[in-house]
């Protein structure tokens, strides 16, 4: 591997994580300088301590990081759980985003809708279960004393069940839309997965500050997605009351204005509570609302 002055990060390739990961880095003002969308290496700008990226399938990244081929990587928890047994691997940050949503994914057992089984406990003894996560499926079945026979597959578990080759399957689902579209139903959950930032432990001890900063940077962008930076003009007589009403990272920012009858107040607030909060504030005489996207909350 060509040496460079900074660390190398492994980024996920493929439709499940690549686009969302690149968008997250861009939102964090980290530039991935890729000569061509299919190129497997890229330069990194704007991230202290990291200057190179390589693209691999998410399932391959934990082994690369554990082996020291790259310093750190972004992958899915499912890749760590299914392959497991990695020495020298540490999770630095949990990053709640996935292909479609800002949350994680679930590994589930499913069957056709017309199957009378409504729970994984209803799976008959010796029944074959086609699984994209055979190791975790076998562990789950042993734990719950379900005597099924796990058949590994590298993908398309849903199609095998729809075809009728197998009555039960195991795969990741994010919203359940694909299962419902194919007349399949979920009958059990094996594990919950999310995107994670992993690091080689030996490299981490020498570069802790830069790697921790990356974790904080990415979490800050995700944290900001459901927040609004709200600015307003508050009558002097109700500044104390308004300050107590406002959620904030520590405390609202309060600044005097040229007009002594008002103060400028700013606070980071949850987007879902924004309009209700503005209504309560308006009743107190607060005016001049301005809403900004914070970009990052660290």
pLDDT at 4: 47
Q: Is 189 within the bounds of a domain?
A: yes
**242 in the same domain as 184:** no
**210 in the same domain as 181:** no
**187 in the same domain as 65:** no
273: CATH: 3.30.70.120
d(CA 121, CA 148): 10
Q: Is 285 within the bounds of a domain?
A: yes
Domain range spanning residue 176? 105-193
- What is the helix, strand, coil percentage profile of the chain, to 5? 35, 35, 35
Which whole number is the average pLDDT over 64-87? 91
Which whole number is the average pLDDT over 118-136? 95
pLDDT over 90 percentage in the chain: 84
Last residue within a domain, chosen from 170, 193, 216: 193
pLDDT at 13: 94
**208 in the same domain as 86:** yes
**123 in the same domain as 93:** no
Q: Is 68 within the bounds of a domain?
A: yes
Which whole number is the average pLDDT over 24-44? 94
d(CA 111, CA 173): 13
Q: Is 298 within the bounds of a domain?
A: no
Question: Sheet of 262-270: strands edge to edge?
Answer: 253-256, 262-270, 227-235, 287-292
**246 in the same domain as 131:** no
Share the mean pLDDT of the chain: 92
Q: Is 38 within the bounds of a domain?
A: yes
Give the model confidence (pLDDT) of 97-124 as tens digits.
865 556 678 999 999 999 999 999 999 9
**143 in the same domain as 30:** no
pLDDT at 85: 73
Per-residue confidence band for 128, with pLDDT thresholds at 50, 70 and 90: very high
**283 in the same domain as 248:** yes
d(CA 253, CA 264): 8
Number of helices (H), then strands (E), belonging to the chain: the values are: 10, 16
d(CA 178, CA 186): 11
**90 in the same domain as 137:** no
pLDDT at 174: 87
Q: Is 57 within the bounds of a domain?
A: yes
Q: Is 87 within the bounds of a domain?
A: yes
3-state DSSP assignment of residue 6? coil
Give the model confidence (pLDDT) of 168-188 as tens digits.
999 999 888 999 999 999 999
Last residue within a domain, chosen from 206, 224, 242: 224
pLDDT at 236: 96
**77 in the same domain as 200:** yes
- Is the pLDDT at 39 greater than 90? The verdict is yes
pLDDT at 269: 93
Cross-strand bridge partners of residue 24: none
DSSP 85: -
183: CATH: 3.40.190.10
**125 in the same domain as 23:** no
**162 in the same domain as 28:** no
Contact 161, 117 (CB under 8 A): no
Last residue within a domain, chosen from 224, 242, 272: 224
- Is the pLDDT at 167 greater than 60? The verdict is yes
Q: Is 2 within the bounds of a domain?
A: no
Q: How many domains does the chain have?
A: 3
pLDDT at 101: 58
pLDDT at 1: 43
pLDDT over 70 percentage in the chain: 97
- Is the pLDDT at 277 greater than 60? The verdict is yes
pLDDT at 100: 55
């Amino acid at each position: 591997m060509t040496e460079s002055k900074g660390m190398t990060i492994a980024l996920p390739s493929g439709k499940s994580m690549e686009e969302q990961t690149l968008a997250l880095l861009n939102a964090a003002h980290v530039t991935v300088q890729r000569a061509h969308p299919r190129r497997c290496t890229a330069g990194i700008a704007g991230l202290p301590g990291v200057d190179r990226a390589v693209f691999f399938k998410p399932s391959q990244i934990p082994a690369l990081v554990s082996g020291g081929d790259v310093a750190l990587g972004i992958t899915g928890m499912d890749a760590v759980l299914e392959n497991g047994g990695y020495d020298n691997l540490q999770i630095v940050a949990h990053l709640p985003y996935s292909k479609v949503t800002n949350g994680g994914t679930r590994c589930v057992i499913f069957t056709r809708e017309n199957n009378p089984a409504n729970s994984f406990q209803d799976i008959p003894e010796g029944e074959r279960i086609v699984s994209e996560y055979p190791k975790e499926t076998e562990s789950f079945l042993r734990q719950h004393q379900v005597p099924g026979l796990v058949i590994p597959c590298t993908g398309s578990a849903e199609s095998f069940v729809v075809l009728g080759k197998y009555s039960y399957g195991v795969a990741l689902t994010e919203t359940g839309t694909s299962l419902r579209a194919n007349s399949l139903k979920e009958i059990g959950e094996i594990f919950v997965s999310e995107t994670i930032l992993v690091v080689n432990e030996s490299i981490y001890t020498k570069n802790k500050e830069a790697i921790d900063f990356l974790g904080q940077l990415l979490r800050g962008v995700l944290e900001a997605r459901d927040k609004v930076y709200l600015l307003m003009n508050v009558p002097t007589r109700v500044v104390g009351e308004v300050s107590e009403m406002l959620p904030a990272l520590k405390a609202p920012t309060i600044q005097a204005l040229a007009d002594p009858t008002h103060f400028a107040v700013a606070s980071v607030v949850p987007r879902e509570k924004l309009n209700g909060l503005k209504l309560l504030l308006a009743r107190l005489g607060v005016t001049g609302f301005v809403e900004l996207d914070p970009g990052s909350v660290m």
